[in-house]
Amino acid sequence: MDIKITEATIKDVNGIVEFEKECFICVTDRFSPRNITNQIKSKTCRITTIKNKKGEILASATGFLRHFKVPSGRIYKIGVSPALKQKGIGSLLLQEMESWFLKHKMQFSFAEVRESNTPSRKMFIKSGYEEIGPLPCYYGNLDKGLDLENGVKYKKKLTSEAKS
């Protein structure tokens, strides 16, 4: 497969919006064009994309730097086109984000995952994350009559070996 990993630019906003419609079923999991634009412009956020030869977005990851008492990165979301799921693309994006966190001297990486998202939960565990707690009623499902779904929080100590 011929793919290209790049940091998103303003030119990618519409492509990311369309990709998220395909990738994230729940509207509450998608960002608005304005949010995506602000994230791309932010020095503490990064959206990494994987594109095919035609420039179409096949996968993306969004991460944030958090300069707290203990500097940490937060994986906000990873999305992979349905046709490419279970092929290691999510893990590749996760490694890219961890490398970015390390470059900015983050000590930990955190992520939250829907309790029902078994493939993502397995990916984080396989990548060295530990489950650190439940997140009751964490995710909204506006398209399901405001039902709420539990989440699970993950944490990983970042080391220089995590660099790709």
Residue with tokens 């939960």: 121
Instruction: Tell which wins on pLDDT, 95 or 164.
Output: 95
Amino acid at position 126, single letter:
K
Q: Mind listing the pLDDT tens digit for each residue in 55-104?
A: 999 999 999 999 999 999 999 999 999 989 889 999 999 999 999 999 99
Number of helices (H) and strands (E) in the chain: give both, helices first.
Answer: 4, 7
Q: Cβ distance 127 to 120 under 8 Å? A: no
Percentage above 90 pLDDT, the chain: 70
pTM above 0.85, yes or no: yes
- Span of 90-99, 101-110, 129-138 with lowest mean pLDDT: 129-138
Q: How far, in whole angstroms, is CA 157 from its chain's centroid?
A: 17
The predicted pLDDT at position 146 comes to 60
**Alpha-carbon span 111 to 83, nearest angstrom:** 24
129 pLDDT more than 60:
yes
**pLDDT number for residue 147:** 74
Q: Domains in the chain, start-ordered, CATH in brackets?
A: 4-162 (3.40.630.30)
- Whole-number pLDDT of residue 154: 96
| Cβ contact 152:113 at 8 Å | yes
What pLDDT score was predicted for residue 145?
57
Q: What is the predicted pLDDT for the residue at 139?
A: 66
pLDDT at 162 over 70: no
pLDDT tens-digit readout, 14-26: 999 999 999 888 7
C-alpha separations of 64 from 12, 104, 149, 159 in Å = 18, 11, 23, 18
Give, in degrees to the nearest 5, the angle at Cα 52 between 47 and 58.
50
Say how many C-beta atoms besides its own lie within 10 A of residue 141's C-beta: 16
